[in-house]
Structure 1
Amino acid sequence: MKLHNRVFLLLGGTGGIGQALISPLQAGGARVIVASRQSQNAAVPAGVEVVALDLAAADLDQQLDQLSRAHPEIDGVIHCAGQNRFAAVDRLTVEAIDDQLTVNLRSAMLVGRHFAPRFAASGRGALVFVGSTFGSIGFPGYTAYCASKFGLRGFSEALRRELADTAVQVLYVAPRATATAMNPEAVNQLNKALGNKTDSPQQVAAEIIRAMVRGERRRFLGWPEKLFVVINGILPKLVDKAMLKQLPVIRRFLDTGVTS
């Protein structure tokens, strides 16, 4: 897929990976429209338009209808908005669970539901969903986040197969740990203690762009994380044993009480 003369709606474009995507998209010749719940306060580079969109809203489907009427030129959507909470399951509030399922999964499903038929009818379009390694490997302290990202991976896979006889590209990209403001300090310290490598948002953005340009269907980032994804799929007991050894360290950071 060429980026030149494309118009991308970028969800989650005001920080982290989304913000890092703006420059390479523009460099490739694409026009970028960033959606933000507080559009009037969003800081974006020159040449980027900001539109109002609340991914957690009950009427998100209606907001998407309005957005499409205002911007019929959109022919690509990149969904990299997300929320997480690092906490033991018994310390997760109902609100925290709902927030993660709503933003990470429900909003992506409604975006796909809205744009897929429109792109298929036009014979052109791309739907890019940014997931996580934790969408393939359940990790202690991220029960709700993993549930939402497992769901996102399943949704994007099913949608891609549903649109296989159309010109619509459906891409799922799964980064490993990424240095964004979404991570609390407890998670940063946990990654150091476990020796987990962390990528910059710019590194992840470059991989997403590369996968888009190559017309890929899925991309898992990081080594050995992508190997663990395969092992977890065929020999999950091996990953169970490895994580059992890590559990005392994980519990130490879970017990700090720092969840956001």
Structure 2
Amino acid sequence: MQNTIFITGASTGLGKAAAKLFQSKGWQVIATMRNPEKENELNKLENVVVLPLDVSDSVQIDQIVKNVTNKYSVDVVLNNAGYGLIGALEALTDEQISRQLQTNLMGVIRISKAFTPHFREKRKGLFLNITSTFGLIGFPTCSVYSATKFAVDGFSESLASELAQFGIEVKVIAPGGMQTDFAVRSMEVGSHEAYEKLTAEVSKGYSPEKLANYTKVEDVAKIVYEAATDNKKQLRYVAGSDAIALYDERLKLGAEAQVANIKSMFTF
């Protein structure tokens, strides 16, 4: 029997790479994105359905999920849609902060809530929620972004226990840097003169040279596929050598010592 995965944010990056990988493995793929009319690759693949979805639109979420579950028996939901809001807290407007929360956090919550009855009736299903290294470790200029990703991690851990009685699983994939155009396409930056030196120092991590050394998005997609199919009762999958190194450092040193180290790096 063919398995079906529902993916948010499938137009580019990890979402698109995951859609292509699952399709190549024989899955039915429901690939959603804000502007499907601009998609010219996924919609040419067999067993891929491209649908419009803005995860900040609660009405559209309910409508799309209802239509999809009426037609398909969905096995996996990949909550991937999101973007980065980077900048010192003082540099960010209330509108920017609210939009970040609506997309990165409320989008995951609303999609999960909409699919839960479907999974509960089936007595099985899997939510795969994409977070970030910065959903496990705080970093300067990432306070609001980290707030959403830490929140998704906590949401996922709690939901995993809540839904276990129905045979529903929840897993988290926390990637580090990826070789995508995320830093250009999916990043919003706030600036403030008091933080110019800090911002410049942090921005070195998004340079072309740094990006070239990050994990290929196709390799992260393989970890997503592994999490979907390995049948392990594992909650978190840390993806990418930089992410693994940082997370191992946290486990070895402890959160307090690691935070102290990061502070020392950016104390001018």
Residue number among 215, 220, 223 corresponding to 2:238 in the alignment: 220
Query: In structure 1, what is the equivalent of residue 226 of structure 2?
Result: 210
CA–CA distance in 2 between the matches of 1:61 and 1:21? 21
- Counterpart check, 1:18 vs 2:15: yes
Kindly report the root-mean-square deviation, in angstroms, between the aligned alpha carbons of the 2 structures: 2.6
Alpha-carbon displacement from aligned partner over 1:192-220 (angstroms, at most 9, x marks no partner): 69979621211111111112211233211
SS for the counterpart of 2:116 is: helix
* 1:98-117 correspondence to structure 2 within 5 Å: 98-117=98-117
TM-score, normalization: structure 1? Answer: 0.84
Change (3 A) 1:182 1:191: closer
Amino acid in structure 2 at the alignment position of 1:27: S
CA offset at residue 21 of structure 1? 0.7
Query: In structure 2, what is the equivalent of residue 242 of structure 1?
Result: 261
CA–CA distance in 1 between the matches of 2:77 and 2:183? 25
Query: In structure 2, what is the equivalent of residue 201 of structure 1?
Result: 217
Quote the sequence identity (%).
25
Is residue 124–residue 168 contact of structure 1 (8 Å, CA) maintained in 2?
A: yes
- Counterpart check, 1:36 vs 2:55: no
Alpha-carbon displacement from aligned partner over 1:159-206 (angstroms, at most 9, x marks no partner): 110111222221111111122222149766325699796212111111
Amino acid in structure 1 at the alignment position of 2:230: R
Is residue 10–residue 18 contact of structure 1 (8 Å, CA) maintained in 2?
A: yes
Amino acid in structure 1 at the alignment position of 2:215: D
SS for the counterpart of 2:177 is: coil
Change (3 A) 1:188 1:21: farther
Change (3 A) 1:27 1:65: closer
Is residue 194–residue 246 contact of structure 1 (8 Å, CA) maintained in 2?
A: no
- Counterpart check, 1:169 vs 2:208: no
Which 5+ residue runs of structure 2 have no aligned equivalent? 188-199
SS for the counterpart of 2:141 is: coil
CA offset at residue 65 of structure 1? 4.6
Is residue 37–residue 54 contact of structure 1 (8 Å, CA) maintained in 2?
A: yes
Is residue 75–residue 125 contact of structure 1 (8 Å, CA) maintained in 2?
A: yes
Residue number among 169, 179, 190 corresponding to 2:205 in the alignment: 190
CA–CA distance in 1 between the matches of 2:256 and 2:210? 21
Which 5+ residue runs of structure 1 have no aligned equivalent? 252-260
Query: In structure 2, what is the equivalent of residue 128 of structure 1?
Result: 128
Is residue 60–residue 110 contact of structure 1 (8 Å, CA) maintained in 2?
A: no
SS for the counterpart of 2:55 is: coil
SS for the counterpart of 2:84 is: coil
Query: In structure 2, what is the equivalent of residue 96 of structure 1?
Result: 96
Query: In structure 1, what is the equivalent of residue 190 of structure 2?
Result: none
Please state which structure has a larger fraction of its residues in helix: 2
